[in-house]
């Protein structure tokens, strides 16, 4: 699973962390913006998998495809999937765009899994890519969750993308909560619970304008991927 986790990290970085507002607008406007977006994916993927690219990733017996050609396959599929999503969002008034976004991401992840070679089948699912996987969980609880919450709240209440203070306040809150999962022993549990209480306290006192959906999703997603990061780091919960 070495290649898969690296491709997954590259995907989340390019699709969320490095997909700035200007790129997001451009890719919805014309094909050149989409090409820039896909080029970002290609560059980040190559950087993270460079040492493995000369290896054969897909072996069908009569056809052996190395990582370099798989990179091309991934980018072509990514381009097609994103273009379809842009077309659907542009020409159809979807009642729940969150479903469209989640379907888009699911298809991308499936493609990455299907083209990734599986080394050492006797190894556990997380393999030996501990730090790569931990970074994946970090990107998920920061930028990926921010976008997910935006689309869910847009479906519920038609809100606009969060302003700077709301966006980065909750990213900071999730980062700290995620960090508590690395505390050794059982001390992470009271630290985590105290921080969750603090988040809800801020919400109840309206210190910053947050919806309950925003807070609950933030806590749940961080808890799930915090536990995953802790398991990867320590080998147990």
Residue % of the chain over a pLDDT of 90 = 46
Band the pLDDT of 95: cuts 50, 70, 90.
Answer: low
Q: Pick the last residue of a domain from 77, 106, 126.
A: 126
Residue 6 burial (10 A CB sphere; 0-12, 13-18, 19+): buried
Residue 207 burial (10 A CB sphere; 0-12, 13-18, 19+): exposed
pLDDT recorded at residue 210: 75
Do residues 105 and 166 both lie within one domain? Answer: no
Q: Facing residues of 65 across strands?
A: 58
pLDDT recorded at residue 199: 84
Q: Using CA of residue 34, residue 35, residue 37, residue 38, what is the dihedral sign?
A: positive
Q: What is the DSSP secondary-structure string of 100-151?
A: HHHHHHHHHHHHHHHHS----TTS-TTTT-HHHHHHHHHHIIIIIHHHHHHH
Do residues 91 and 143 both lie within one domain? Answer: no
pLDDT per position as a tens digit, 220-237? 999 999 999 999 998 887
Do residues 109 and 154 both lie within one domain? Answer: no
What are the tokens at 56?
A: 């054969």
Res 72 pLDDT > 90: yes
Q: Pick the last residue of a domain from 80, 107, 126.
A: 126
Between 197 and 124, residue with greater pLDDT: 197
Band the pLDDT of 177: cuts 50, 70, 90.
Answer: very high
For the chain, the domain total comes to 2
Q: Which H/E stretch holds residue 79?
A: helix 67-91
Task: Quote the domain boundaries for residue 36.
Answer: 1-126
Do residues 116 and 197 both lie within one domain? Answer: no
Res 21 pLDDT > 70: yes
Do residues 3 and 105 both lie within one domain? Answer: yes
Mean per-residue pLDDT of the chain: 86
Do residues 197 and 232 both lie within one domain? Answer: yes
Res 176 pLDDT > 90: yes
pLDDT recorded at residue 164: 61
Do residues 64 and 178 both lie within one domain? Answer: no
The residues, any chain, with a CB within 8 Å of residue 140's CB and separated by 6 or more, are 12, 221, 225
User: Tokens 């290609």 sit at which residue?
Assistant: 42
Res 120 pLDDT > 60: no
pLDDT recorded at residue 96: 64
The residues, any chain, with a CB within 8 Å of residue 237's CB and separated by 6 or more, are 227, 230, 231
**What average pLDDT does this structure show over 109-122?**
79
């Amino acid at each position: 699973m070495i290649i898969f986790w690296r491709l997954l990290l590259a995907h989340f970085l390019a699709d969320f962390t490095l997909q700035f507002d200007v790129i997001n607008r451009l890719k919805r406007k014309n094909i050149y913006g989409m090409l820039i977006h896909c080029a970002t994916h290609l560059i980040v993927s190559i950087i993270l998998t460079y040492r493995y690219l000369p290896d054969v990733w897909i072996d069908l017996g009569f056809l052996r495809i190395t990582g370099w050609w798989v990179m091309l396959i991934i980018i072509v599929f990514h381009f097609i999937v994103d273009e379809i999503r842009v077309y659907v969002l542009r020409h159809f008034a979807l009642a729940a765009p969150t479903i469209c976004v989640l379907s888009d991401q699911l298809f991308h992840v499936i493609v990455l899994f299907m083209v990734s070679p599986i080394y050492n089948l006797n190894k556990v699912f997380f393999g030996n890519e501990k730090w790569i996987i931990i970074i994946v969980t970090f990107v998920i609880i920061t930028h990926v969750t921010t976008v997910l919450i935006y689309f869910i709240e847009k479906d519920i209440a038609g809100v606009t993308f969060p302003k700077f203070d709301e966006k980065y306040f909750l990213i900071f809150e999730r980062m700290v909560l995620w960090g508590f999962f690395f505390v050794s022993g059982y001390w992470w549990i009271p630290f985590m619970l105290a921080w969750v209480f603090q988040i809800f306290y801020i919400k109840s006192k309206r210190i910053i304008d947050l919806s309950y959906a925003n807070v609950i999703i933030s806590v749940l997603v961080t808890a799930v991927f915090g536990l995953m990061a802790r398991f990867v780091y320590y080998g147990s919960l």
